[in-house]
């Protein structure tokens, strides 16, 4: 579906991204993670045809963004970090305008549909949000208008650059729920960048972690968790036999008996299934990977925020 191959972008002497490569399957919801300045926005802007790459290719449905920009742009909906809005316009007029320049044939129908989809038909101060002037709306509703312009042409791919940044917790929760619905309901491919790891865990199937302009990891969240280096477990029947058995497992480099049935394993691979099977004989009570997504993210990005 989306294939990014050795993508590079240079601004003067500065490499914004350098050799970024990843693939996204159709219908996947992918979180693009990385510290500020890692190159997430640059990658997204190249994907959406807003800027060109210095080297490398990005294809969507087999079509190169640089060679067939119109076809690619018709297939993509893009919500930048700052929603691209004309504040003086009425929401409905703005969405109509976006639909027209995106080549939608039934502008009125698409406008009505997207207003309902993103919840702009809700009353705000006695009028539906869709009939209000954009600059008079809250930031949460403005973000929904931004989402509406990205969705109005029913794109197969949705690219969202930090869609919940600057929102209060309630607005963030509402928008997160909306994004979850949008991603799941229509089998749409979604690429989402964010700093909120809980959001990624809640919405995404996979993550691509970018640091210093390069991809440092791409995998499913589950598999990334499996690369965590610590497993803690507690059993009901402590035994030296269990320690010996676990120590002999492939991928386990050290087992520390902490007493009262608690063991800490240092691992180099995802061995949770093997550990659970062996520990079950000794009444397994708890098993957890000690690294969360946040720890993994910090380890892979060198601890940059």
Partner 1 sequence: MTPILAIARREVAAFFATPVGWLCLTAFAAISGFFFAMMATEFSVQATTAAYNPYVAEQINLNDWLIQPFFANTSVVLLMLSPALSMRLFAEDRANKSLELLLSSPVTSGQIVLGKFLGALGFVSVMLASTLPLTGMLYWLGTPDTGILLSCYLSAFLLAASFLSVGLLTSAMTENQIVALVTGFALLLVLWVLSWAETIAGGALGQVLAGISMLSHLDQLLKGLFHLADAVYFITFVGVFLFATTQRVEAFRWR
Binding footprint of partner 1 on the chain (CB under 8 A): 11, 45, 48-52, 69-71, 73-74, 76, 78, 80, 82, 84-89, 93, 97-98, 100-103, 107, 149
**By C-beta, is 94 or 297 nearer to partner 1?**
94
Output the smallest distance, CB 96 to partner 1, in A.
8
Rg (CA), the chain: 23
Output the smallest distance, CB 283 to partner 1, in A.
57
Query: Which two structure tokens, joined as six digits, stand for 35?
Result: 């510290």
Query: Which two structure tokens, joined as six digits, stand for 60?
Result: 């969507």
Cα atoms found within 13 Å of the Cα of residue 281, Cβ hemisphere only: 11
Quick one: angle between helices 91-101 and 107-117, nearest 10? Answer: 120
Output the smallest distance, CB 103 to partner 1, in A.
6
259 vs 268: CA distance, rounded Å: 23
**By C-beta, is 72 or 209 nearer to partner 1?**
72
Rounded to the nearest 5°, which phi and psi values hold at 171? -65, -40
**By C-beta, is 102 or 225 nearer to partner 1?**
102
Output the smallest distance, CB 76 to partner 1, in A.
7
Output the smallest distance, CB 92 to partner 1, in A.
13
**By C-beta, is 150 or 204 nearer to partner 1?**
150
**By C-beta, is 48 or 167 nearer to partner 1?**
48
Rounded to the nearest 5°, which phi and psi values hold at 126? 90, -5
Output the smallest distance, CB 106 to partner 1, in A.
13
173 vs 17: CA distance, rounded Å: 31
Output the smallest distance, CB 102 to partner 1, in A.
5
**By C-beta, is 65 or 233 nearer to partner 1?**
65
**DSSP of 166-235, one letter per residue?**
T--HHHHHHHHHHHHHHHHHTT-EEEEE-S-HHHHHHH-SEEEEEETTEEEEEEEHHHHHHT-SEEEEEE
Q: Please enumerate in sequence order all residues whose Cβ is within 8 A of that of 230, keeping only pairs 6 or more positions apart, or say none.
A: 264, 265, 266, 267, 289, 290, 291
**By C-beta, is 84 or 251 nearer to partner 1?**
84
**Distance set, CA 95 to CA 40, 61, 85, 92, 227 (Å):** 27, 26, 10, 5, 44
């Amino acid at each position: 579906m989306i294939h990014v191959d050795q993508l590079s972008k240079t601004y003067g002497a500065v490499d914004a991204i350098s050799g970024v490569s990843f693939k996204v399957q159709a219908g996947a919801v992918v979180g693009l993670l990385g510290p500020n300045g890692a190159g997430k926005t640059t990658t997204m802007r190249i994907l959406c045809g807003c800027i060109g790459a210095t080297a490398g290719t990005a294809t969507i449905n087999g079509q190169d963004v640089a060679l067939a920009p119109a076809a690619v742009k018709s297939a993509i909906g893009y919500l930048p970090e700052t929603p691209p809005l004309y504040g003086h316009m009425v929401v409905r007029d703005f969405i109509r305008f976006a639909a027209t320049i995106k080549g939608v044939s039934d502008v009125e129908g698409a406008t009505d549909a997207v207003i309902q989809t993103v919840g702009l038909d809700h009353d705000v101060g006695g009028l539906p949000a869709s009939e209000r002037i954009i600059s008079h709306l809250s930031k949460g509703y403005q973000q929904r208008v931004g989402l509406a312009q990205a969705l109005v042409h029913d794109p197969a791919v949705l690219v969202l650059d930090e869609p919940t940044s600057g929102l209060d917790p309630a607005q963030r929760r509402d928008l997160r729920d909306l994004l979850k619905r949008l991603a799941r309901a229509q089998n749409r491919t979604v690429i989402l960048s964010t700093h909120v790891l809980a959001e990624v865990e809640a919405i995404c199937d996979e993550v691509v972690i970018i640091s210093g302009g390069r991809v440092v990891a791409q995998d499913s969240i589950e598999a990334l968790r499996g690369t965590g280096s610590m497993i803690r477990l507690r059993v009901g029947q402590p035994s030296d036999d269990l320690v010996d058995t676990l120590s002999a497992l492939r991928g386990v480099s050290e087992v520390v008996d902490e007493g009262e049935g608690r063991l800490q394993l240092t691992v180099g691979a995802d061995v949770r299934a093997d550990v659970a099977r062996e520990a079950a004989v000794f009444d397994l009570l708890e098993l957890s990977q000690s690294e969360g997504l946040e720890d993994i993210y910090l380890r892979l990005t060198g601890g940059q925020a």
